[in-house]
Structure 1
Amino acid sequence: MTRTRIPLSVLDRSRTRRGRPPGEALRDTVRFAREAEALGYRRFWVSEHHSVPGVAGSAPTVLAGAVAAATSRIRVGTGGVMLPNHRPMVVAEQFGVLESLFPGRIDLGVGRSVGFTDGIRRALGVGKEAVEEFEVRLGELVEWFDGGAAAYPQVHAWPAERLRPPLFVLANDAGADIAARAGAALVIGGLRKEDRLVEAVERYRKAFRPSAAGRAEPYVVLAGDIAVAATEEEARRLLVPEAWALAYSRTHGVFPPLEPAEEIEGRAMTDRERGHFETALRGPVYGTEEQVVRRLSALVERTGADEVLVTTSGYDRVALLDSYRRLAGLAGGA
């Protein structure tokens, strides 16, 4: 069996399933982290979403602490903390606590997104303009780890000072420039739009500026849904619940809990729903082991990526874990 030699990591969004409580999704995340560690994945990250019925993960630093406590070797982090929603000092303090409790295992991943509706943004106390302040907030966050922010003399973010967990910036093609200027690792998705992806990665590498609080060299993490099964059709079926949730959110404005694939495949969809559904299924990398390793190897070769962050969600937990197990085997991690 052909293998890919790139390190693999996991981002789990704590996806809820129809009829099941959010707490179950969070406990599934912690169990999944132990399974990912046993399979040899490098990192296990959690995410931040607010007022989303289909996602239980709204407090990533809290959940990251639970994951780190339940594991012993795998790196744990956030993909990511949405910096516009938080004061940089508070984020530094939270990660200082995590790094102090679990030294050498914590990653700090930050993103630029704000709530997707006006109501959520009002509840969080932020506006769309907060996205434009991201780079300023990112610089302040780094300052807190470095001894204190210049704008707040004699104020300290204990216990964060001098700890400096590795910094990752979640980005689309535009955000790649911010990651480069910050000297941070770049986490970038959009596997379906390969040309734009390659262009953004190349721009990041050319503009990268080493930082004492960041990295000496560029580091690229490709993020995307990847599904592996005995057949191509089985792998596609694993992705159907998430594809439908995305299609439903685009057409109804609500991101719902996951539903069984067989119910979705038998459902009558509007033309608009069907269009979004099929588009969502064109994005992931999926298939048999040979199909996936061939496609993934080509992507890694073209982008020069240093790592792949697997973001796959699915209604069927058994099939989902089997996919991650097969993928780990392709990387020699099992």
Structure 2
Amino acid sequence: MSIDNEVRIGAFVFTSRYEGQTASEVLARGVATAQAAEAAGFDDVWVTEHHFVPFGVNPSALTFAGYLLGRTSTVRVGTAVTVLPLHSPVHVAEQAALLDHLSGGRFDLGVGRAQPVVDYEVIGRGVEYWRHGLPEALDLTLAALAGPVSADSELYRFREVTPEPGPADAGPPPVYVAANSSASVELAASRGLPMLLFFDKDAGAKAAMIAEHARVALAAGHPGDGYAHGMALFAHVADTPDEARRVMRRAAGEFVLANSRYRPLVDVPRRGDHDAPHEQVVDRLTESALATHPVGAPEVCVERLVGQIRESGARRVLCQVEVAGEHDSVLANVKRMGEEVLPEVRRRLATG
């Protein structure tokens, strides 16, 4: 069966700041990347939300998404993700509905809870919102996207209100849930919502999570399939293996350095191996990406994208196209993806 009409390939604009770059340069590159992606034939653009770390300089996924919707005309723009428990879920729903109306239905809302870091002290309302707040915040967001909403719990309590502008005639915008564990898979599936799966899972692990989602969704009375699950991949077209390794290693180095600067909440233990040498972690991330992600010659990128889509079962692809870091290199990569990779990927999927 052809899956061409079901698969959408998007550019993931991470607003990653590399050494020596200013925030203004990074944000300008993000806007240019989104516009270049539209011109190159990408279907979607996705943006992130980060606080208090230099690697991602965009603190508001909703604001940036709104700006990009105004600077583009055909691509869908989504958040990957809005860190929902940091914000008022009803206000998030209002903003999502507003962007959906203003863009003519081109907005997707991706939500998650992110890491247990200082963000929850400064912007959020404490560790309990990280530990337990996402399910209720998600339910309140979904309710507020549909109509009147109220709350009476330990975390959220307010009288009934009717959010405006309310849903568009075609209904509220799609909502995706970031999933990185069985609990988050269950959260998305039990609400009948698609997932966003990120860089750390290989295609087989993503397929297993999608299969788990199907089982839970069916048990909860929702369809077991037909979900437009998304997955994030590094994507860079290189002329030689040495170039691919150099670009990926630089990106991995910046990512690992930035990750080490996250300040965790004091009463939540840090996860992962934080005692491993920096170079070892960078090498491991670099080699993993080079082995499985669409990074390399055009044919390598095509094969990896097609393989990831077919094996995982995901139907939304979020290509992190900014790994080169420099403005001109990023835009050149987007152009090459559009000319040398995406048409062949779509051809193979359509005839597969």
TM-score of the pair, normalised by structure 2: 0.80
Cα 1:192–1:158 change in 2 (3 A) is closer
Distance apart, 1:191 and its partner CA: 5.2
Instruction: Give unpaired runs (5+ residues) of structure 1.
Output: 255-269
- Cα 1:153–1:215 change in 2 (3 A) is farther
Show the counterpart of 2:283. Answer: 278
- The amino acid of 2:337's aligned partner reads L
Does the CA-based 8 Å contact 1:251-1:273 persist in structure 2? Answer: no
**Partner residue of 1:263?**
none
Post-superposition CA distance 1:67-120 (Å, at most 9, x none): 111111111121110001011111011112212211211111111115523xx3
- Of residues 174, 178, 187 in structure 2, which corresponds to 1:170? 178
Post-superposition CA distance 1:277-302 (Å, at most 9, x none) = 11221332121112222223222221
- Shift of the alpha carbon at 1:207? 2.1
SS of 2:343 mapped into structure 1: coil
Q: Which residue of 2 aligns with 1:260?
A: none
Pairwise CA RMSD: 2.9
CA distance in 2, matches of 1:159, 1:89: 12
Which of 52-61 and 308-317 deviates more? 308-317
3-state DSSP of counterpart to 1:159: coil
Q: Distance in 2 between matches of 1:271 and 1:135?
A: 34
Establish whether residue 290 from structure 1 lines up as the match of residue 291 from structure 2: no
Distance 1:194 1:67 in 2: 30
Aligned to 1:127: 126
- CA displacement at 1:242 relative to structure 2: 1.9
Q: 3-state SS of the aligned residue for 1:77?
A: strand
Would you identify which runs of 4 or more consecutive aligned residues in structure 1 move more than 6 Å?
Answer: 210-216
Contact 1:84/1:130 (<8 A) preserved: yes
Conservation of the 8 A alpha-carbon contact between 1:7 and 1:331: no
Contact kept in structure 1, 2:53 and 2:262, CA below 8 Å: no
Cα distance in 1, alignment partners of residues 308 and 225 from structure 2: 24
Q: Tell me how far 1:134 sits from its aligned partner.
A: 0.6
Q: What is the distance in 2 between the residues matched to 1:67 and 1:235?
A: 29
The TM-score, its normalising length taken from structure 1, stands at: 0.84
* 1:48-67 → structure 2 map (5 Å cutoff): 48-67=49-68
Give the paired residue count.
314
Task: In structure 2, list runs of 5 or more residues that go unmatched.
Answer: 152-157, 264-274, 347-352
Code of the residue aligned with 2:90 in structure 1: it is: M
* CA distance in 2 between partners of 1:165 and 1:214 (Å): 19
Letter in 2 for 1:279: R
Contact 1:84 1:114 (C-alpha < 8 Å) held by counterparts: no
The 3 A distance-change label for structure 1 pair 215 and 104 is farther
SS in 2 for 1:283: helix
What does residue range 208-219 of structure 1 map to in structure 2 within 5 Å? 208=217, 217-219=226-228
Inter-partner Cα distance in structure 2 for 1:212 and 1:328: 40
The correspondence for 2:328, drawn from 298, 318, 334, is: 318
Deviations 1:247-300 (A, max 9, x none): 32455658xxxxxxxxxxxxxxx9701111112213321211122222232222
Mean Cα displacement is larger for which, 101-110 or 150-159? 150-159
1:156 to 147, 151, 162: 162
